[in-house]
Every structure is written in structure tokens, then in C-alpha cells.
A and B are shown apart, each in its own frame.
Chain A
Amino acid sequence: EAEVAQSPRYKITEKSQAVAFWCDPISGHATLYWYRQILGQGPELLVQFQDESVVDDSQLPKDRFSAERLKGVDSTLKIQPAELGDSAMYLCASSSGGPNEQYFGPGTRLTVT
């Protein structure tokens, strides 16, 4: 069964450093999402791509976060500089579009020290 791949699974970084996460969605899924999940809370959407275009980044802290999906396939989420409050699980999901279910990857657990 096809899965969403994410790497790394765990990342520890010092504040003010740069960090990047990678996501490879299920083949053929045009829509890709990045979520942030703070401990004890539900996932919150950071950015949504349709193919290579951003369709929603209203909750993305654009002063430090960036996301790209250059060829409309895999995607990278970057934080620079990282802050203590960025410690969270970063989840990637993909779907075939529309009101279809989103398939989630295993996530990247980020700890900022």
C-alpha cells in the first residue's frame, strides 16, 4: 500500500539554527499539506499545495517558515531560524484533491533546544 514518506523522523536543533523537513506524497496525489501538531493539540494546517502552487499558507509564519514543491511532487518545509516554540510534530499529508481523505506520513518530531 502506498504511503506518504517523511524524513527525518526526529530532529534536534538549537535555536537560531536552520532546519528542513522533506515529504514525498503518495504517487499521483496532486494536493499536499503540511501540518504542525503541538503536544496535546490537534494538527494545524501550515500550508497547502495544489501541484506546485500554494493555495493556502495563511497560517504559515512567513518570517521564518518557507515551503516549496518545485516539481509538484515532493516538498520541503524549512524553518530559519528555529525558535523554542517551534518544537512540535510536523506532519505531511496528501490527497487526490477535493473532499477526499488525506493520507498522513509518520511525521517529523522537532525539538528545539
Chain B
Amino acid sequence: AQSVTQPDIHITVSEGASLELRCNYSYGATPYLFWYVQSPGQGLQLLLKYFSGDTLVQGIKGFEAEFKRSQSSFNLRKPSVHWSDAAEYFCAVGAREYGNKLVFGAGTILRVKS
């Protein structure tokens, strides 16, 4: 069965510090991967996506993620966190073989302290 694991439920970082959010997946097909961000009470906004090609992808708001097939991971990074980055982050995986539907992780809540 397809699954996505985000091992960290909560992460707290200081403003200006670097950030890495982990995502591991288990999928029986060649996946494509997304990171979404959700502010309280809001819908999901796409940060970045990986379909193929260069395994380091750049997204909006200074975020990047690296696809590592050997580790089944797609970790999200940002070199310097801003207070406005506080939100919940979701990793999602899909595959054409599964009808392109997305399977989401449980999310990681990011808190930023000043």
C-alpha cells in the first residue's frame, strides 16, 4: 500500500535558522512528489513539486526539496526561516499507475520563535 511518513509532528526553529522537514514514502510505482503548506483554517498551497529530472527542486518562498530515490525521501529545506513560515506542512505522493490521486502525510507543524 502507498504511504507517506512525516516523522516529526512538531518542529520549532528560531527565526533566521535553517529548516529541514522530513518526508519518506512507500510506493510501488515511480512517484511524483509535492510539498504543500497550510495556514490555520485555510486550504493547501503548493510549495514545490517533483516529477522527474533534476532531483533538487526549487519552490516558492525560498523553499527547496531534494528527491533521493535510494532513501525514498523528499525532504523540504529552507536556509533561513521567517516568522511567516509558521504553518503546517504536508508531503504528498502520487503516481500515474494509481490514477494520479495523492496520498498525504500527517503533516508537520512548524513553530518559529523570535
Contacts and interface: CB of A to CB of B under 8 A. Distances in A.
B102 A107 contact: no
A101 interface: yes
A99 B51 contact: yes
A48 B90 contact: no
Q: How large is the interface on B (under 10, 10 to 19, 20 to 34, 35 or more residues)?
A: 20 to 34
B41 interface: yes
A17 B106 CA distance: 29
Interface in A49-85: 55-56
Given A6-B43, A109-B41, 20 more contacts: A42-B90, A42-B92, A42-B106, A43-B44, A43-B90, A43-B104, A45-B102, A48-B101, A56-B99, A56-B101, A98-B96, A98-B100, A99-B32, A99-B96, A99-B100, A102-B46, A102-B102, A105-B43, A106-B42, A107-B41
Interface of B: 4, 32, 34, 36, 41-46, 49, 51, 90, 92, 94-96, 99-102, 104-107
Interface of A: 4, 6, 31, 33, 40-45, 48, 55-56, 91, 93, 95, 97-99, 101-107, 109
